[in-house]
């Protein structure tokens, strides 16, 4: 009875996005690279790591690039201080090195990047943006750069998923080094794990492991074995087998459930509250990064979906909200930033039921059930 009571009271719901679980019910469509050629869809993102000292520079982050078709990965360590962010030069140079690697391995000297997807971080502006614009001018219809909107990189799923895998590789290697320290009784003050010394090792381990989706090693796939068209077909077949036919927003490529479905006009939602002043903590553990987008705090005030801007291309669905008096709020929101409460018809029905319950309790409100 208590569970039913809380389920019918939007104001008493936890201000968190419902937990997502893997499985057929909760998954959405995969990213299908098109055309079937290497670098047709590149995803990039930055993740923070524990400080690493190399050549008198402190590296606190790493920029990851991955080709969505071949799954080939490049890692670019980023060194910065508080006074020299954004590190857009590092992002630019890393992208250039990534393209050069793919060209060498594929044997296609004139291969160009078709499009790249990133979040809205400052590293993708400045020098990186200037370079992208120059490439767009030199190669029409190529080097298209799109960014995810909002505080969550929900549209950058390929990079986010790959970062999780790379973090596991880094963690496994660190544990092996730590075991060696313990075996040799190395003094604590002499234990220093500089992950920048092993970046090539991380890349090799990832690129030389068979990828489940394409059923091939990325190092072989980028070289055309199997052919690119076959890789694309394997991705399509795997997506159809795993995800099936789902009427969800494929431009929110994250695990989801009905509670996180695409919203419609009239749905009641809470807005995510952005935590400012948190650039991210350098750590080997993602859960300890303390990024501004980490966590799931939502407003106590309830809003209504006033307008829905449908997804198109790489742009995901966005929403315009209004208060319950139909006064529109400024700005647009994406699905991961909104916590669905109840459809408006159900909410109105619950308001009536709440009034009847209050009368039944003799004006004592809802305290009798708590």
Residues 322 and 191 in one domain: no
Distance CA 202, CA 204 (A): 6
The gap from C-alpha 202 to its chain's centroid, in whole angstroms, comes to: 21
Q: Which residue has the higher pLDDT, 336 or 9?
A: 336
In the sheet that holds 303-309, the strands lie side by side as: 333-334, 318-322, 303-309, 267-271, 338-343
In a domain, 30, yes or no: no
pLDDT at residue 248 tops 60 = no
Residues 266 and 226 in one domain: no
Residues 267 and 189 in one domain: no
Instruction: Tell me the average pLDDT across 53-63.
Output: 83
Residues 6+ apart with CB under 8 A from 271: 298, 299, 301, 303, 321, 333, 337, 338
Residues 103 and 186 in one domain: yes
In a domain, 251, yes or no: no
Least confident of 12-16, 49-53, 217-221, 316-320: 12-16
Q: Which of 243, 274, 298 is the last residue of a domain?
A: 243
Give the per-residue pLDDT at 25.
Answer: 36
In a domain, 248, yes or no: no
Distance CA 133, CA 129 (A): 6
Average pLDDT, the chain: 78
Q: Which residue has the higher pLDDT, 339 or 169?
A: 169
In a domain, 237, yes or no: yes
Least confident of 22-31, 83-92, 209-218, 350-359: 22-31
| Nearest of 338, 285, 317, 318 to residue 49 by alpha carbon | 285
Residues 314 and 195 in one domain: no
Give the per-residue pLDDT at 367.
Answer: 43
Residues 206 and 89 in one domain: yes
In a domain, 166, yes or no: yes
Residues 238 and 264 in one domain: no
SS3 labels along 279-296: CCCCCCCHHHCCCCCCCC
Q: Which of 243, 277, 302 is the last residue of a domain?
A: 243
In a domain, 29, yes or no: no
pLDDT at residue 335 tops 70 = yes
Give the per-residue pLDDT at 339.
Answer: 83
For the domain that residue 190 is a member of, what is the CATH number? Answer: 3.30.420.10
Residues 95 and 172 in one domain: yes
DSSP letters of 312-345? BTTBPPEEEEE-TTS-BPSS-EEGGGEEEEEEHH
In a domain, 358, yes or no: yes
Domain tally, the chain: 2
Distance CA 170, CA 19 (A): 26
CB-based contact 118:145 (threshold 8 Å) = yes
Structure-token pair, residue 342? 């109840």
In a domain, 285, yes or no: yes
Domain extent, residue 133, equals 42-243
pLDDT classification of 22: cutoffs 50, 70, 90: very low
Provide the percentage of residues in the chain whose pLDDT is more than 70: 68
Residues 102 and 217 in one domain: yes
Q: What is the pLDDT of residues 162-206, one digit of tens each?
A: 999 999 999 999 999 999 999 999 999 999 899 999 999 999 999
Give the per-residue pLDDT at 137.
Answer: 95
Give the per-residue pLDDT at 144.
Answer: 93
CB-based contact 367:358 (threshold 8 Å) = no
């Amino acid at each position: 009875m208590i569970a039913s009571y809380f389920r019918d009271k939007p104001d008493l719901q936890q201000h968190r996005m419902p937990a997502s679980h893997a499985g057929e019910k909760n998954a959405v469509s995969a990213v299908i690279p098109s055309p079937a050629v290497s670098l047709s869809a590149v995803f990039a993102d930055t993740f923070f790591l524990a400080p690493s000292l190399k050549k008198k520079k402190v590296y606190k982050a790493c920029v990851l690039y991955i080709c969505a078709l071949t799954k080939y990965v490049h890692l670019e360590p980023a060194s910065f201080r508080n006074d020299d962010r954004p590190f857009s030069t590092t992002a630019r140079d890393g992208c250039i090195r990534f393209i050069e690697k793919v060209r060498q391995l594929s044997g296609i000297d004139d291969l160009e990047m078709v499009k790249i997807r990133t979040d809205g971080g400052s590293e993708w502006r400045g020098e990186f943006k200037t370079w992208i614009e120059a490439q767009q001018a030199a190669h029409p219809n190529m080097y298209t750069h799109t960014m995810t909107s909002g505080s969550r990189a929900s549209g950058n799923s390929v990079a986010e998923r790959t970062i999780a895998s790379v973090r596991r590789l880094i963690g496994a290697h660190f544990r092996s080094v730590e075991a060696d320290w313990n075996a040799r009784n190395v003094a604590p003050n002499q234990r220093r794990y500089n992950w920048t010394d092993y970046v090539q090792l991380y890349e090799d381990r990832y690129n030389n492991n068979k990828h489940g989706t394409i059923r091939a090693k990325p190092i072989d796939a980028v070289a055309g074995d199997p052919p690119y068209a076959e890789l694309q077909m394997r991705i399509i077949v795997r997506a159809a087998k795993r995800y099936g036919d789902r009427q969800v927003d494929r431009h929110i490529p994250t695990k989801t459930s009905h509670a996180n479905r695409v919203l419609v006009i009239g749905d009641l939602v809470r807005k995510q509250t952005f935590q400012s002043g948190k650039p991210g903590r350098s750590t080997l553990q993602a859960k300890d990064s303390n990024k501004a987008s980490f966590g799931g705090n939502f407003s106590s005030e309830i809003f209504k979906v006033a307008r829905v801007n449908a997804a198109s291309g790489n742009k995901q669905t966005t929403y315009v909200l209004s208060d319950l008096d139909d006064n529109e709020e400024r700005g647009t929101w994406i699905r991961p930033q909104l916590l669905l409460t109840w459809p408006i018809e159900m909410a109105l029905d619950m308001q009536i039921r709440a009034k009847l319950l209050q009368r039944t309790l003799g004006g004592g409100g809802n305290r009798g059930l708590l």
